[in-house]
Structure 1
Amino acid sequence: MRSFDTLLFTALAASPALARQVPANVQSLYNSIRAQGSCKNILKGGFYSQEGDSKNFSYCGDHLNDYGIMYLQGTNGNLVNMDIDCDGALGTGDGSCDSSQDTQGETSFKDTITSYKAGIKDLNAYIHSFVVLGNEGSKSGYVTFEPESVGVDPLSLVAVVCGNKMFYGVWGDTNGDDGPPLVGEVSDALGRACYGSAVNGNAAHDANDVLYIAFTGAGAVPGAKGANWSASSFTDFESSLGALGDSLVARIGSSGSPPPPASSTKPSGSQPTCSWSGHCAGAKCSSDDDCSDDLVCKSGKCATDS
């Protein structure tokens, strides 16, 4: 029997008070993707949403160049489902991962988390809102894909639209070749925030109606100081991603239109504007591709080519 504390924890995790409203531009993107039916610019296909499903799911780059985003999509108007990932440092929680038969002791980016020196050694599936992206392995015939190949960096921000709500998370783990090449998986805490006790370490949200939006560029990575990595609750961690998430979501053009062109002038005392929020002059970068418009990457920051 589950304790009162456990039930309270689960109820709080599923509470609408923790959810973000889906912005109009994201809802428009969601509707347009489903109406289109299938991805036109398939970055890599041949994936499954769940075991026994068809392998008609892909990493999609239809808006890779205009909005700087990658997402997961099926065919016939499908997106993907939501499985639960129990990897990493579980610590305390409601025990919904305790009986999982598919648990690893660490996440793919444990070393980076440790390097942040935030008082934790790895992501905690009961606390951190993280998304599983990428498929890696050496098994013959296994379909692999590295999000870094299209500019999505480890531990970068991912927006998740689920159950008419939206949450922010980070790309925190990858899929291995211990089964079919799957897509659509999140940490236990994020899954319960979306669907409550209906999901756990052994139960998924099977409907292919979840949109995962991964953002490209170094500016999408919160880094050591840009998130509350040592948070003790899902709410504290997810809310710490709010400012960065909101700035990245602003990239997405309303009603399917691209972002507005860069302003040719700026008021006195204002910051320079550009057409790709978060990638204007002064933003962190690793290459010219991380910078908006005609800006280039100089000494790790976007700047004019002069």
Structure 2
Amino acid sequence: MAIPLFGTRVSPRYLYADKMMLAKVVDNRVASRKIAEAPSMSEEAWLSQLVTLGIDVFVCGAVEEDFLEQVESYGIKIIRNVAGEVEEILSSLASGHLKDGYGSASQTDGSMPRAGGIPLSSIGKKTSEQTDGEMRIDCIECLDRPCLQGKSCTSSPENLFAVDKYSEFRHSMEVTMDISAETDRKLCRIAEFIYYSLGMEYKHIGVAFCVEMFQEAEILTRLLRRFFRVSPVCCKIGGHTQQDSITAVEGVLCNPVGQAFVLNSLRTDINVSMGLCVGCDYIFARHSEAPTTTLFVKDKSLANNPVNALYSKYYIDDILREA
């Protein structure tokens, strides 16, 4: 059998692999294994290699239908759309549990182990992969989804919905639920934020924005000022240009700590993160004394709408290729 590798995992697509695991399974155990080079091979080269090596089973991630048909025409069985660590995949294959979609799609029989998940019967219980006090939950791999019927999937439901923890957020939850229950119209994110802030009786809003979104920040600020006092602070606040131990990047450095410091000193009621870089948004939120929410994120390729990448084969392929 052969498995194209991406580090120590099954390669998301075989064409992106630079190595492959060659293994032989005998009597439900892995009898032998070795790593073979597969440097940037084309589809034709992969097919030729599989045939030349006498491979009988090809375990892979995503695969095109035409390649699937070509491989199967040589009597090679393909187990596709597989995700996970190669050692786990080998173990599952040896035990006869490996099927299409292992680790990347929910199983229908619930009997076989799932990569990254655990059987529902053991949720909330300690497994061999858990330490004392640690609980593993994978809501994607959960088949029953009892929480959607108002039931707990763990042995300690009170720990997951701690009523006492919500006492200080009661008003916030009430305002949020009122907005989410809106049925007469579909509110955009900005409208939801405005209604939420009005419901919370906030008076002063901070806007921490990226300089690449100056125009959008100006429009947002002018809109919010119809309802609130607004303090916008750009990511280059302080104008620090010196190269030091923080970063070797030339030019004016981003300063999320400075943004938080300014807004903290202005005593804002809530802060908006707007287009901050991944990492800078975390640093800003960590140092902000006021609660922080994200209105927009920056996406230079998708017109600031990153979720679109999940619906695009082109972008997903590009992510897998460059990762």
TM-score range, shorter chain: under 0.3
TM-score (norm 1): 0.21
Q: Which has the higher contact order (CA 8 A, sep 6+)?
A: 1
More helix by share: 2
The structure whose Rg is larger is 2
TM-score (norm 2): 0.20
More strand by share: 1
